[in-house]
């Protein structure tokens, strides 16, 4: 109780300090006056009475001071005075303060920026209720290696009904849907189970989400939920939107709007603007196909159930299913994966690397400032000695120095914070990596705490160096010694060590940046297997006309309003277009699906390596327009361009697997098992492998199978090769298509180069930042070595003067100083290279085709060495020009 | 303890406390008078004393100290402790 009371009294006193002082003065004056008066009564004269009173009282100032201290928080108040002193000292040397604050601001600001990014991605990443209980469920396939795939509706239903680990589970898949209206457009839409919104814990802001009764495969309801963005953009935020009917999909199907989601909600894919019941995902027969691999559902774990437990339960269910349905479920498993890892996990290794890099930058900045502080504390030796002589304890002096450096780092942190926020927003906006829309780095309390802790740590670190120096001050010599020549060796060693550390860290960052640059160069240099230059990719969906065939026969299927190949002819006629082709999908555009196939006359294989290929339907000029080399045979003939043609073109891997060294033309394969009723297809041509599904390589080593484009597909992928930059072709092509029919949506337009660029975006993002950090590190390190060398020179002016007077030449002096610096540089580089090797594991996951061994670029280190040597050379030249007379009179 | 004891007889200002202790101890406990003040202030901060400004006998403004409830408790504890120690010491001295 008592300490609390005391603290409370002291706190109150803090606010009334002046009054307290006056009271104390009055109180003591009263005492003295009383004593004096009494002495006068006892017969002493005025002056002697006063002197007597004072003698009886003792040292007035001393007791006053002591009484006052009773009211103070001694450590706090001396801290305040330390801070004031520090600010005064810094104001007296604005140059030093400016450089130090700037270096620290760079370091701390960079750390704050990257940390707020890491924090946004890591901790509160998902904007859903209890995000740590959300998981994604993958239908794994054990082939040569385990492949992550989706699952089928029947498997999903079994998981859902048989498992006990989950509160709820929901199917979800992103597709695009045509919204017909004044402006027909393709809209990213999620097909979702009715439970989807409950799994995420999100409710409609208007109307409602789906009912279980609307999500029945046998009788799906035509209902839809809009995103807030779509509602505002397309429907003018109509308050009476619920109940309105809109037309979706190619066949004019009407959907009733039942709800609008809250602002910012775009589904787990972060792109959806529309939701429809999962029951409408595919026609009922396809939904019943247990062998399909369409989608990965999400689920919410029951409270207290771990991912491991859920995984074990689903493993058991998958085993049961495998026994019950061997034909479709052999070698099929389930993988439970945390949803936040799925959505933002890919960014983490890069951010972690950047965090380490930026921490290095901060360490270099600290070393630099510590160096400056040591230099200053050398100059302030006398001041410090005087303080020590006046009774300041060692601890008190150390605290003074650390307070001073903490004031510096706090200023640095302030400046750093100011720029960090802007920087990180810019970073997210400009980054080639697309951050999920909910990643909004903010300067919240966690980031602020981080910054404060970091700056305090830096302050202590920076203050400790000169503080330890001050410990060794020998009062006598420091007070007497006006000479600066004979200064301590310890200081030189410490400062040398700091410079070596700075250089070493700069080397690590340079090596890191070098690795990233090389890696990106390797990525860019990959031959994708086709020629992406000057190719514009886009997708269109050709609606079917509602009118069936003129004779009114009900069996005739609805016809596309324009044939894809007719569209191609019109596009080719546009100026600037040199060639155009179409297919169901293009390389790297994310389309395409795999099918099992069988080669004629080949023995049956087990489930782990059933032949599988990615199927694309393409027009006959596809290979020439994309410049995919034809290895054998020919492309499709005009007569083969029908949906039922038996001609097929395969990629080289098919031949290598089944008919190595034989003529593949005329060999036959079929989709599904060899025993199925599917027709055999004859190989008419063989093309080279293409990086169709990803760079640096396809995720799986499956071949591509090309079938003739038979006008059956309404979704077309166009590849247009221009004689002008692809971007300039977008507008004319759009105009042309609109002139044919306004209900044809054009979407996903991108140049092939952009598609390739998006494959390497993360590497480029990391490369950029690493590059920037490395440059900052390099310049800080160079400033550091320059500072040390010029300080060294100014310290040794007298020694140099003597050497010159004794006959040393300017060249000798130059060699002496540069040699000194070169030793530091060599040590720094050696340590740095060793460190880089030790740290290379951290970045290997981000690299493509480089290891630290071949990535340590001699050029980068050469650059560092050269710049650092230059930084030594300048002070060395100054030393060589020293006038011996002047130097000896230097004191 | 002496200060607390003095004040248990009634509120006093610093000078009077000093006078009283000197006289009561027959000038044995005569130290620098100034040393009284840090002690007074320490007791005030700890909440054992409360101070108020009032008029002295000769009508000058003076700071009067008063024992608080916790000050009274502290005095009881300390004087009991002192009695035990002093008694023990004097018994030892008599035996020797």
- Domains of chain A by residue range: 2-72, 131-346, 348-524+761-888, 543-743
Please state the separation of Cα A131 from the chain's center in Å: 20
The per-residue pLDDT for A547 is 47
Q: Is the pLDDT of residue A792 over 90?
A: no
Residues of A in contact with B41 (CB under 8 A): 24, 67-68, 70-71
Question: How far is CA A44 from each of CA A30, A37, A475, A534, A562, rounded to the nearest angstrom?
Answer: 19, 9, 48, 112, 126
Q: Give the list of residues 6+ apart from residue A90 with CB closer than 8 angstroms, or none.
A: A96, A97, A404, A407, A408
The per-residue pLDDT for A173 is 92
Q: Is the pLDDT of residue A851 over 70?
A: no
Backbone φ and ψ for A55, nearest 5 degrees, come out as: -65, -45
The per-residue pLDDT for A213 is 92
Alpha-carbon torsion B62, B63, B69, B72, what sign? negative
| A426-458 pLDDT, tens digit each | 877 777 777 777 777 777 788 888 888 888 888
The per-residue pLDDT for A705 is 94
Which class for A89: exposed (0-12), middle (13-18), buried (19 or more C-beta within 10 A)?
middle
The per-residue pLDDT for A553 is 45
Residues of A in contact with B58 (CB under 8 A): 37
Residues of B in contact with A28 (CB under 8 A): 34, 37
Closest CA to A393 of A71, A78, A66, A73: A78
**Torsional class of A824: left (φ above 0), alpha (ψ -120 to 50), beta (otherwise):** alpha
Q: Please state which of the ranges A364-373, A760-769, A817-826 shows the lowest mean pLDDT.
A: A760-769
Contact A120, A127 (CB under 8 A): no
Calculate mean pLDDT across residues A133-159: 87
Residues of A in contact with B32 (CB under 8 A): 56-59, 63
Q: Is the pLDDT of residue A889 over 80?
A: no
Closest CA to A335 of A353, A312, A358: A312
Q: Do B18 and A59 touch (CB under 8 A)?
A: no
Minimal CA separation from B91 to chain A, in Å: 34
Calculate mean pLDDT across residues A369-386: 76
DSSP A768-825: HHHHHHHHHHHHHHHHHHHHHHHHHHHHTHHHHHHHHHTT--HHHHHHHHHHHHHHHH
Candidates B40, B46, B53; nearest CB to A5: B46
Q: Which residue of A has its CA nearest to B33?
A: A57
H/E stretch holding A168: strand A166-170
Residues of A in contact with B15 (CB under 8 A): 30-31, 34-35
Strands (E), chain B: 12-13, 49-55, 61-67
Residues of B in contact with A66 (CB under 8 A): 37-38
- Kindly calculate the radius of gyration of chain A based on its CA atoms and give it in whole angstroms: 39
Token pair of A272, please?
């959806």
Using DSSP, state whether A545 is helix, strand or coil: coil
Q: Do A30 and B46 touch (CB under 8 A)?
A: no
Q: Do B37 and A66 touch (CB under 8 A)?
A: yes
Q: Write the DSSP symbol of residue A595.
A: E
Candidates A6, A35, A70; nearest CB to B38: A70
Domain architecture of chain B: domains with CATH: 2-95 (1.10.10.10)
Minimal CA separation from B93 to chain A, in Å: 34
Pairing status of strand B49-55 against strand A134-142: unpaired
The per-residue pLDDT for A483 is 46
Most A-contacting residue of B21, B38, B53 (CB-CB within 10 A), to test interface: B38
Candidates B37, B46, B61; nearest CB to A2: B46
Candidates B18, B32, B41; nearest CB to A70: B41
Q: Is the pLDDT of residue A573 over 70?
A: yes
Spell out which chain B residues touch chain A, with contact meaning CB-CB distance below 8 angstroms: 13-15, 18, 32-35, 37-38, 40-42, 44-47, 53, 56, 58, 60-63, 70
Q: Is the pLDDT of residue B70 over 50?
A: yes
Q: Which residue of A has its CA nearest to B64?
A: A27
Token pair of A322, please?
């495998």
Calculate mean pLDDT across residues A782-808: 78
Question: How far is CA A267 from each of CA A243, A264, A671, rounded to the nearest angstrom?
Answer: 22, 9, 35
Please state the separation of Cα A10 from the chain's center in Å: 49
Backbone φ and ψ for A357, nearest 5 degrees, come out as: -60, -45
CB atoms under 10 Å from CB of A584, counted, come to: 18
The per-residue pLDDT for A654 is 92
Using DSSP, state whether A850 is helix, strand or coil: coil
| B41-59 pLDDT, tens digit each | 888 888 888 888 888 777 7
Tokens 């180069």 found at: A753
Residues of B in contact with A31 (CB under 8 A): 14-15, 18, 33, 37
Q: Which residue of A has its CA nearest to B16?
A: A31
Instruction: Give yes or no for a cis peptide into A859 (omega within 30° of 0).
Output: no
| A267-287 pLDDT, tens digit each | 988 889 999 999 988 888 888
Is residue A591 very low, low, confident or very high in pLDDT (cuts 50, 70, 90)?
Answer: confident
The per-residue pLDDT for A276 is 93
Pairing status of strand A704-708 against strand A612-618: parallel
H/E stretch holding B84: helix B69-95
The per-residue pLDDT for A250 is 54
Contact A708, A546 (CB under 8 A): no
Closest CA to A836 of A615, A508, A409, A372: A508
Most B-contacting residue of A2, A5, A27 (CB-CB within 10 A), to test interface: A27
Calculate mean pLDDT across residues A243-250: 83
Residues of B in contact with A34 (CB under 8 A): 15, 56, 60
Q: How far apart are the first and last CA of chain A?
A: 61
DSSP A41-99: HTT--HHHHHHHHHHHH--HHHHHHHHHHHTS-HHHHHHHHHHHHHHHHHHH-HHHHHH
Total length of chain B:
96
Contact A451, A424 (CB under 8 A): no
The per-residue pLDDT for A558 is 64
Candidates A6, A33, A34; nearest CB to B46: A6
Q: Do B44 and A70 touch (CB under 8 A)?
A: yes
Greater confidence (A264 vs A634) lies with A634
Most A-contacting residue of B14, B45, B49, B63 (CB-CB within 10 A), to test interface: B45
Whole-number Å distance between alpha carbons of A301 and A277: 23
The per-residue pLDDT for A552 is 44
Q: Do B42 and A2 touch (CB under 8 A)?
A: no
Closest CA to A525 of A854, A853, A849: A849
Whole-number Å distance between alpha carbons of B76 and A12: 29
> Which of A308-317, A787-796, A875-884 has maximum average pLDDT?
A308-317
Minimal CA separation from B94 to chain A, in Å: 36
Q: Please state which of the ranges A175-189, A724-738, A831-845 shows the lowest mean pLDDT.
A: A831-845
**Mean pLDDT (chain A, rounded):** 83
Q: Do B34 and A70 touch (CB under 8 A)?
A: no
The per-residue pLDDT for A474 is 60
**pTM for the structure as a whole:** 0.70
Token pair of A29, please?
């004056």
ipTM exceeds 0.85: no
Whole-number Å distance between alpha carbons of A43 and A495: 71
H/E stretch holding A541: strand A535-541
The per-residue pLDDT for A152 is 92
> Which of A375-389, A747-761, A838-852, B17-31 has maximum average pLDDT?
A747-761
Token pair of A872, please?
């030594």
Is residue A153 very low, low, confident or very high in pLDDT (cuts 50, 70, 90)?
Answer: very high
Whole-number Å distance between alpha carbons of A316 and A630: 47
Q: Do A67 and B40 touch (CB under 8 A)?
A: yes
Q: Which residue of B has its CA nearest to A31?
A: B15
Token pair of A320, please?
């049961």
Contact A387, A397 (CB under 8 A): yes
Question: How far is CA A725 from each of CA A127, A327, A534, A578, A738, rounded to the nearest angstrom?
Answer: 40, 50, 6, 12, 22
Which class for B86: exposed (0-12), middle (13-18), buried (19 or more C-beta within 10 A)?
exposed
User: How many CA within 13 A on the CB side of residue A118?
Assistant: 19
Q: Do B38 and A67 touch (CB under 8 A)?
A: yes
| A472-514 pLDDT, tens digit each | 556 666 565 544 444 556 667 777 888 888 888 888 888 888 8
Q: Is the pLDDT of residue A682 over 90?
A: yes
Token pair of A492, please?
């030189």
Token pair of A366, please?
């600290």
The per-residue pLDDT for A472 is 58
Q: Do B42 and A59 touch (CB under 8 A)?
A: no
Calculate mean pLDDT across residues A714-722: 90
Residues of A in contact with B27 (CB under 8 A): none
Closest CA to A226 of A187, A254, A199, A279: A187
Closest CA to A692 of A635, A618, A620: A618
Candidates B15, B42, B46; nearest CB to A31: B15
Most A-contacting residue of B34, B46, B54, B58 (CB-CB within 10 A), to test interface: B34
Minimal CA separation from A395 to chain B, in Å: 26
Spell out which chain A residues touch chain B, with contact meaning CB-CB distance below 8 angstroms: 2, 5-6, 9-10, 13, 23-24, 26-28, 30-31, 33-35, 37, 56-60, 62-64, 66-71
Whole-number Å distance between alpha carbons of A242 and A589: 35
Is residue A824 very low, low, confident or very high in pLDDT (cuts 50, 70, 90)?
Answer: confident
User: How many CA within 13 A on the CB side of residue B68?
Assistant: 13
The per-residue pLDDT for A631 is 93
Contact A339, A131 (CB under 8 A): yes
């Amino acid at each position: 109780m008592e300490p609390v009371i005391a603290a409370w009294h002291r706190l109150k006193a803090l606010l009334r300090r002046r009054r307290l002082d006056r009271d104390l003065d009055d109180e003591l004056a009263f005492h003295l006056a009383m004593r004096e008066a009494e002495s006068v009564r006892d017969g002493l004269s005025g002056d002697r009475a006063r002197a007597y009173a004072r003698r009886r009282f003792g040292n007035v100032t001393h007791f006053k001071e002591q009484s006052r201290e009773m009211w103070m928080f001694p450590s706090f108040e001396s801290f305040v005075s330390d801070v004031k002193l520090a600010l005064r000292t810094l104001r007296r040397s604005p140059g030093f303060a400016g450089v130090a604050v700037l270096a620290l601001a760079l370091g701390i600001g960079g750390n704050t920026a990257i940390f707020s990014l890491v924090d946004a991605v890591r901790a509160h990443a998902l904007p859903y209720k209890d995000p740590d209980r959300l998981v994604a469920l993958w239908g794994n396939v054990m082939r040569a290696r385990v492949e992550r795939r989706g699952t089928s509706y029947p498997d999903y239903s079994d998981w859902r009904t048989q498992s006990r680990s989950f509160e709820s589970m929901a199917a979800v898949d992103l597709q695009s849907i045509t919204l017909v209206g004044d402006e027909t457009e393709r809209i990213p839409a999620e097909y979702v189970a009715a439970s989807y919104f409950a799994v995420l814990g999100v409710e409609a802001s208007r109307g409602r989400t789906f009912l279980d009764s609307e999500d029945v495969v046998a009788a799906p309801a035509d209902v839809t939920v809009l995103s807030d963005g779509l509602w505002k953009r397309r429907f003018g935020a109509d308050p009476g939107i619920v109940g309105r009917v809109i037309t979706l999909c190619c066949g004019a199907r009407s959907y009733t709007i039942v709800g609008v989601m809250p602002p910012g909600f775009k589904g787990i894919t972060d792109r959806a603007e529309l939701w429809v019941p999962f029951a409408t995902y595919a026609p009922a027969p396809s939904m019943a196909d247990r062998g399909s691999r369409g989608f990965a559902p999400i689920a919410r774990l029951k409270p207290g159930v771990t991912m491991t437990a859920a995984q074990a339960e689903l493993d058991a269910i998958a085993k049961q299913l495998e026994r019950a349905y061997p034909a479709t479920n052999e070698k099929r498993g389930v993988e439970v994966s945390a949803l936040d890892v799925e959505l933002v996990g890919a960014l983490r290794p890069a951010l972690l690397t950047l965090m380490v890099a930026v921490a290095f930058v901060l360490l270099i900045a600290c070393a630099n400032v510590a160096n400056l502080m040591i230099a200053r504390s050398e100059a302030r030796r006398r001041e410090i000695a005087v303080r020590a002589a006046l009774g300041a304890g060692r601890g008190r002096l150390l605290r003074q120095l650390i307070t001073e450096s903490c004031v510096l780092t706090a200023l640095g942190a302030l400046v750093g914070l100011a720029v960090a926020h802007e920087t990180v927003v810019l970073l997210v906006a400009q980054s080639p990596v697309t951050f999920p829309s909910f990643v909004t780095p903010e300067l919240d309390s966690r980031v602020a705490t981080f910054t404060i802790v970091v700056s305090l740590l830096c302050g202590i670190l920076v203050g400790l160096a000169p503080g330890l120096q001050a410990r060794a001050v020998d009062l006598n010599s420091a007070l007497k010694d006006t000479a600066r020549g004979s200064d301590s060796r310890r200081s030189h060693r410490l400062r040398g060590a700091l410079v070596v550390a700075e250089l070493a860290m700069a080397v690590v960052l340079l090596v890191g940046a070098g690795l990233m640059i090389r890696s990106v160069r390797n990525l860019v240099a990959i031959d994708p297997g086709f020629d992406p230059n000057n190719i514009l990719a886009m997708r269109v969906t050709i609606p079917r006309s509602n009118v069936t065939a003129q004779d009114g026969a009900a069996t005739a299927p609805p016809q596309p309003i324009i044939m894809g190949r007719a569209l191609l002819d019109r596009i080719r006629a546009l100026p600037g277009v040199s060639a155009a082709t179409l297919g169901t999908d293009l390389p790297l555009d994310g389309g395409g699906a795999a099918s099992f196939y069988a080669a004629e006359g080949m023995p049956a294989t087990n489930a782990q390596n059933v032949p599988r290929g990615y199927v694309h339907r393409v027009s006959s000029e596809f290979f020439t327009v994309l410049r995919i080399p034809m290895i054998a045979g020919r492309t499709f003939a005009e007569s083969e361009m029908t949906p039922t043609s038996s001609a097929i073109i395969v990629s080289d891997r098919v031949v290598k697997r089944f008919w190595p060294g034989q003529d593949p033309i005329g060999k036959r394969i079929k989709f599904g098992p060899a025993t199925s009723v599917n027709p055999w297809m004859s190989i008419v041509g063989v093309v080279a492998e293409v990086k169709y599904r990803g760079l640096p390589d396809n995720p799986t080593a499956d071949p591509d199978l090309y079938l003739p484009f038979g006008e059956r597909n309404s979704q077309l992928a166009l590849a247009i090769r221009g004689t002008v930059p692809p971007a300039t072709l977008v507008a004319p092509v759009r105009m042309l298509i609109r002139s044919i029919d306004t209900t044809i949506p054009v979407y996903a337009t991108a140049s092939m180069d952009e598609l390739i660029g998006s494959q390497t975006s993360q590497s480029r993002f990391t490369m950029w930042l690493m590059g920037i950090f490395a440059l900052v590190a390099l310049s800080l390190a160079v400033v550091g070595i320059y500072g040390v060398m010029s300080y060294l020179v100014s310290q040794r002016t007298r020694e140099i003067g003597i050497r010159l007077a004794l006959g040393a030449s300017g060249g000798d002096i130059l060699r002496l100083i540069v040699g000194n610096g070169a030793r530091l540089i060599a040590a720094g580089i050696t340590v740095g290279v060793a460190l880089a090797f030790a740290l290379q594991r951290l970045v290997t996951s981000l690299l493509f085709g480089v290891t630290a061994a071949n990535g340590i670029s001699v050029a980068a280190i050469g650059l560092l060495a050269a710049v650092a040597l230059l930084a030594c050379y300048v002070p060395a030249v100054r030393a060589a020009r020293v006038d011996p007379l002047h130097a000896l009179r230097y004191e | 303890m002496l200060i607390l004891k003095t004040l248990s007889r009634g509120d006093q200002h610093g000078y009077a406390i000093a006078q009283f202790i000197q006289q009561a101890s027959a000038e044995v406990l005569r130290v620098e008078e100034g040393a009284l003040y840090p002690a007074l202030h320490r007791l005030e901060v700890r909440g054992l004393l409360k101070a108020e400004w009032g008029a002295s006998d000769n009508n000058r403004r003076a700071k009067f100290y008063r024992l608080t409830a916790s000050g009274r408790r502290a005095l009881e504890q300390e004087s009991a402790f002192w009695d035990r120690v002093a008694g023990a010491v004097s018994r030892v001295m008599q035996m020797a």
